Structure 1
């Protein structure tokens, strides 16, 4: 449900008390509220942007460097063809289109017989059940085959909910050392430039917490920025509470300075995948490096929010995108 302006104001006041100044006067709250209202009205800044990027302590010159919600929508509008967005929004469509990049077995239960579903289950210890349009790590369940009590009932439930089943991916030892209960992934963002070449805009290491199956930043995971040239993690790890970590808090494995294995091959794979649908120019790719060092695409996100990149680097990313958007706009106007 969309928030009313009154609800936004109430939430902003609470955020001021929690994150800015617990003793803020009503006057100070009103000044911050007016500042946010101007940013929202004229610059496409949402309340989450205003809070997580500390806009209350930044000048307008500093703020304009950030990819806020309005600018993210502009990137998507300029870069991505709406006709092909369904391929990335619907997980079964993505698995069909990028089958050669998956390195795992999968099944769209909606279009599968019970016999084939049972055959799929029989050869696995576990698998992931995913809602076809889930986001931010939600709608994903790891299922252990030994715990299934009624397979036919499970099949009927999955078929009704149009669940996608995917084989559990393995991960290389270097990534698993961070946390072995989650599949720890990379987020690599690409843009297909106006000249048809693929530019890597940035990368994130994403690792889960002990006992959790998801590594997503929005699902209590930790992320850190990867230098796209070297593949070395060059920032502290950050979680959703804005706590920063040199070491993983559970495993104590060092985050800062970690060299992503086979980074060149990761970049090459992303550049190849990005050209499968070149009119979907802006994609955030989620990637697993398997235990035999295959590069497996988990999904591609055509609305990838660079919030984690900007939070980890404490730097607005808009100038990096703007120079490529200019060329794409010119190309779009000529075609």
Structure 2
């Protein structure tokens, strides 16, 4: 009884701390973007919409922010505070996500042919070459035969943090360089092939892997695609995340890009740095991407909401770079495609009821 009470207090305290953090975040975002204040009628509609599911006095500040960038006010925008504090934990098994999201285990939950080729894994300090345990020295020797590779932490990172493309072709002392890199990453990292993207996607920016991010919702009878966006890196940068100057652009249901892409400051642009127009630009193999996700999500039954990072390679093959079940990132979707849950708003909020 006492243990249960203490646990409830700990959970409550954690949630309130998170809510406070998101309150500070939206205050900063609105101070930077200066969206118009909502009228009383709209505020009351928003609060009433969420109150019917037990979420009383929902802040309208996220609605101001999303409405400004989406150029349309919608009652059913999903505030970050609500999503991360209540909806994600209600629909996804948060106590399992660290293991299931481990990039060193992704092919065990999905299928090896649909994921990037992995050369070396480091799991809790132990090295594996082709899934066989080996020494650090052997791992360095194995990787030293490559001209290039991608190294990244295998768990607990967001927004491309720690992802590096390493070129070895001009290195004189490959062993020394690799020893330094492996020491820097310490443990829990993965060494993978450098993927070559579809020539069509490379038109958007050839220096970054421009990844499609899709969020899907697993229902008892089907998997639903809620929203799709593409993340395009800044020219000369390898990763495609917001923090390093990238942009996001919404994808419509036919697999074509929408008119505007948006950067982390909310600034809109109609074309890439090289002059490629976003509006109507086709995502290659989009139908294959959608069908792949619908099939794969059934392999992750503990997570009803999953965000997938996908690329299409030069052979027109769909590759799952990673998937996210916690801290999924919803802002890019809502500022380009509108309310995250669309027709499934009521169903998902009911599942998340307080």
The answer (yes or no) to whether the contact 1:191–1:283 under 8 Å persists in 2 is yes
1:236 counterpart SS class: strand
Change (3 A) 1:214 1:115: same
Could you tell me how far apart the structure 2 residues matched to 1:166 and 1:326 are? 39
The number of residue pairs the alignment matches comes to: 308
Where do residues 278-297 of structure 1 align in structure 2 (5 Å cutoff)? Answer: 278-297=301-320
Change (3 A) 1:151 1:81: same
TM-score normalised by structure 1 residue count: 0.78
Which residue of structure 2 lines up, in the alignment, with residue 136 of structure 1? 159
Q: Post-superposition, which runs of at least 4 consecutive aligned residues in structure 1 deviate over 6 A?
A: 2-6, 8-11
Change (3 A) 1:104 1:43: farther
2:213 counterpart SS class: strand
The two structures, once aligned, show a CA RMSD in angstroms of: 3.8
Which residue of structure 1 lines up, in the alignment, with residue 87 of structure 2? 75
Name stretches of at least 5 consecutive residues in structure 1 with no aligned partner. 22-27, 29-37, 331-335
CA displacement at 1:122 relative to structure 2: 3.5
Where do residues 93-112 of structure 1 align in structure 2 (5 Å cutoff)? Answer: 93-98=105-110, 99-109=112-122, 110-112=125-127
Name stretches of at least 5 consecutive residues in structure 2 with no aligned partner. 1-16, 38-46, 128-134
Which residue of structure 2 lines up, in the alignment, with residue 164 of structure 1? 190
Is 1:307–2:327 an aligned residue pair? Answer: no
Change (3 A) 1:208 1:111: same
Which residue of structure 2 lines up, in the alignment, with residue 20 of structure 1? 34
Q: Could you list the per-position Cα deviations for residues 24-70 of structure 1 after superposition, in whole angstroms to 9, with x for gaps in the alignment?
A: xxxx9xxxxxxxxx99x9555597x36742579x99xx564111123
Which residue of structure 2 lines up, in the alignment, with residue 183 of structure 1? 209
The answer (yes or no) to whether the contact 2:153–2:162 under 8 Å persists in 1 is yes
1:135 counterpart SS class: coil
Which residue of structure 2 lines up, in the alignment, with residue 53 of structure 1? 66
Where do residues 1-335 of structure 1 align in structure 2 (5 Å cutoff)? Answer: 12=27, 16=31, 18-20=32-34, 42-43=56-57, 45=59, 49=62, 52-53=65-66, 62=73, 64-73=75-84, 74-98=86-110, 99-109=112-122, 110-112=125-127, 113-132=135-154, 133-146=156-169, 148=171, 149=173, 150-151=176-177, 153-154=179-180, 156-158=182-184, 160-195=186-221, 197-228=222-253, 230-248=254-272, 250-303=273-326, 304-313=328-337, 315-325=338-348
Could you tell me how far apart the structure 2 residues matched to 1:152 and 1:318 are? 45
The answer (yes or no) to whether the contact 1:46–1:69 under 8 Å persists in 2 is no
The answer (yes or no) to whether the contact 1:235–1:312 under 8 Å persists in 2 is no
2:120 counterpart SS class: strand
Could you tell me how far apart the structure 2 residues matched to 1:137 and 1:283 are? 17
More helix by share: 1
Could you tell me how far apart the structure 2 residues matched to 1:175 and 1:14 are? 31
Change (3 A) 1:275 1:106: farther
Q: Could you list the per-position Cα deviations for residues 245-289 of structure 1 after superposition, in whole angstroms to 9, with x for gaps in the alignment?
A: 2110x2111211011111111111111111111221110100010
The answer (yes or no) to whether the contact 2:67–2:74 under 8 Å persists in 1 is no
1:129 counterpart SS class: strand
CA displacement at 1:225 relative to structure 2: 0.8
Q: Could you list the per-position Cα deviations for residues 129-179 of structure 1 after superposition, in whole angstroms to 9, with x for gaps in the alignment?
A: 112221011121111113554146336505624322111111000001111
Change (3 A) 1:236 1:160: same
Q: Could you list the per-position Cα deviations for residues 210-235 of structure 1 after superposition, in whole angstroms to 9, with x for gaps in the alignment?
A: 1111112343211111113x111124
Could you tell me how far apart the structure 1 residues matched to 2:332 and 2:226 are? 13
1:203 counterpart SS class: strand
